[in-house]
């Protein structure tokens, strides 16, 4: 997967051509992240995409870590060479930290470690790259919201009850319609935020932080409704819906959680 994405130029889509990239902008990068989200890719793929412009010409597989309750939590990913650590309203690229031997059990289909010791910082993200990171995460979450909607609609078309597909029942229709609206709202807001960041508009921070908040809520809620609409099988490990919910929860957590997203939006001063 990593080799195929690299061969396609995914990780260099926004990197300047003189450094081996495609030289495209934030908007194109965000649409790639949205499709990656739909595919439920590893968080490390998203962090590698976000870190691609920090050290031009030195693209490396980048893992993801975040600070929660004073501890640095590392999302395990084989083969990473560095980590992108998110801590509240800042983020930095660091060398691989020392990991405790005991791994934390997780309900998110990944293994989490607690990193100990100081982190050797390679580069700190400036305002624009921090907004890029949040936007990439928002786009991936919007993709998950869209995927959950499509999964639910496809299932209710073929699942029959009382001699007819359950998609014909009004209550089920309402759930699907609400999911579609939530996913569309998230995708549209991510698109608007990408254009604002690309054009360096004065409201870019508001739009990016709002996009992360709205997309995170849409991803988690749509993934939860997708499980519900699958009925009893939706709660089993053998069915696919749980993967979308776990990945949505993980991405929201690594971005600082929904409470922090709300605080970011509330703290933004109105543009002049």
Average pLDDT, 10 consecutive residues per value, the chain (272 residues): 89 87 92 96 93 78 89 88 88 82 70 81 91 96 98 92 87 96 98 96 93 97 96 86 94 88 82 62
Which sign does the torsion angle of CA 269, 265, 180, 143 carry?
positive
The domain segmentation of the chain, as residue ranges, is 127-267
Interhelix angle for 170-198 vs 204-229, to 10°? 160
Beta carbons within 8 Å of 127's beta carbon, 6+ residues apart:
205
Per-residue confidence (pLDDT) for residue 156, from 0 to 100: 94
Q: What is the pTM (predicted TM-score) of this model? A: 0.93
Per-residue confidence (pLDDT) for residue 104, from 0 to 100: 66
Q: In whole angstroms, give the CA distance from residue 222 to residue 38.
A: 13
Identify any residues that bridge with 62 across adjacent strands, giving them in sequence order.
82
* Pairing status of strand 62-68 against strand 82-87: parallel
Q: In whole angstroms, give the CA distance from residue 15 to residue 21.
A: 4
Could you tell me which CATH number the domain at 127-267 has?
1.20.140.10
- Tokens linked to 33: 């992240």
Per-residue confidence (pLDDT) for residue 272, from 0 to 100: 62
Per-residue confidence (pLDDT) for residue 230, from 0 to 100: 94
- On whether the CB atoms of residues 244 and 226 are closer than 8 A, the answer is yes
């Amino acid at each position: 997967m990593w080799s195929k994405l690299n061969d396609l130029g995914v990780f260099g889509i926004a990197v300047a051509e003189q450094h081996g990239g495609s030289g495209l902008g934030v908007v194109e990068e965000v649409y790639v992240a949205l499709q990656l989200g739909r595919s439920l890719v590893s968080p490390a793929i998203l962090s590698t995409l976000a870190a691609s412009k920090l050290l031009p010409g030195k693209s490396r597989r980048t893992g993801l870590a975040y600070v929660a309750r004073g501890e640095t939590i590392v999302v395990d990913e084989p083969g990473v060479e560095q980590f992108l650590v998110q801590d509240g309203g800042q983020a930095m690229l660091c060398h691989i930290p020392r990991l405790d031997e005991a791994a934390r059990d997780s309900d998110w289909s990944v293994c989490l470690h607690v990193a100990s010791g100081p982190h050797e910082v390679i580069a700190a993200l400036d305002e624009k790259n921090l907004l890029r990171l949040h936007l990439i995460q928002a786009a991936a979450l919007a993709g998950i919201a869209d995927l959950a909607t499509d999964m639910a609609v496809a299932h209710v078309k073929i699942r029959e009850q009382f001699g007819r597909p359950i998609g014909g029942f009004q209550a089920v229709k309402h759930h699907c319609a609400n999911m579609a609206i939530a996913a569309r709202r998230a995708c549209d807001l991510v698109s608007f935020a990408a254009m604002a960041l690309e054009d360096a508009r004065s409201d870019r921070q508001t739009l990016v932080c709002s996009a992360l908040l709205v997309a995170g809520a849409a991803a988690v809620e749509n993934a939860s409704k997708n499980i519900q609409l699958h009925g009893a099988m939706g709660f089993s490990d053998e069915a696919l819906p749980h993967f979308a919910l776990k990945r949505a929860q993980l991405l929201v957590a690594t971005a600082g959680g929904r409470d922090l997203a709300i605080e970011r939006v509330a703290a933004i001063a109105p543009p002049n």
